[in-house]
Amino acid sequence: MENMTETLKMTARDVSVFYGAKQAIKSVSIDIDMANVTAFIGPSGCGKSTFLRTLNRMNDTISGARVEGRIELDGEDIYASSMDVVQLRARVGMVFQKPNPFPKSIYENVAYGPRIHGLAPAKADLDRMVESALRKAGLWDEVKDRLNESGTALSGGQQQRLCIARAIAVDPEVVLMDEPCSALDPIATAKIEELIHELRGRYAIAIVTHNMQQAARVSQKTAFFHLGTLVEYGDTSEIFTNPREERTKDYITGRYG
């Protein structure tokens, strides 16, 4: 906590999101830092995924979506007109609910990002980046002998780790995960959770999850959203043993939601 300012990666201040006339997020302020995994929890429709998507401007692709307030990455306004969105998404990567590898080889799935961002001048550099990303994603040993096979031929859990490898291949600063394990079995889920644990500190990580046990297991900070507002934010251990807000307590103890 004492080094919060040093490790602070993203700050959101009074962020509101509208879908047309409907306000989906109401003045949310929160910090995402390098040292901690931040979990966003809350019932369906509470705005947690919407909020996550504001952090790398994924909502830009939805027509009628409008974002107010200020979100900074290393002190830089990500909604400023000078911000290159493609560059932003390389710095703030994303992993989705369902694994969505490209219908290409395992190698190409990971090489894609570094290549389009011009990060790999030579084939040898690219090989190194692919291996490094696959190692960090805990997938290397399982796929090193079949890098030319299609990414879609992998199991669901492997596909999701491939997507994580793809996200981190461009060396992002922040990794956003939107329910990354909801389509996976418990073993594959455990591997992703272990991976999140290992990636912590290297990237600032924010994860949306419906699985509260998962939030409790993987995060150090938890934010509880309800009806578009941030109800409570704090240390995960506090939130799950002694939440301050009645609504948080009702949700995490299974009294509604």
Quote the least distance from Cβ 227 to other proteins, whole Å.
17
Pairwise CA distance, residues 160 & 96, whole Å? 8
Task: Return the residue of 151, 180, 228, 243 that touches other proteins, per CB under 8 A.
Answer: 243
Whether the CB-CB separation of 30 and 230 falls below 8 Å is answered with yes
Binding of other proteins by 252 (CB under 8 A)? yes
Enclosing H/E stretch for 107: helix 106-116
Strand partners, 174: 92, 204
Binding of other proteins by 256 (CB under 8 A)? yes
Q: Which of residues 43-82 bind other proteins (CB under 8 A)?
A: none
Pairwise CA distance, residues 92 & 102, whole Å? 19
Quote the least distance from Cβ 164 to other proteins, whole Å.
26
Quote the least distance from Cβ 233 to other proteins, whole Å.
16
**Tokens 């995490």 found at:** 252
Task: Rank residues 170 and 216 by Cβ distance to other proteins and give the closer one.
Answer: 216
Which pair of tokens denotes residue 174? 């922040």
Cβ neighbourhood burial of 202 (10 Å; 0-12, 13-18, 19+): middle
Task: Return the residue of 29, 87, 148, 242 that touches other proteins, per CB under 8 A.
Answer: 242
Q: Which of residues 187-216 bind other proteins (CB under 8 A)?
A: 212-213, 216
Quote the least distance from Cβ 128 to other proteins, whole Å.
43
Q: Using CB under 8 A as the criterion, which residues of the chain lie in contact with other proteins when the complex forms? A: 212-213, 216, 240-243, 248-250, 252-257
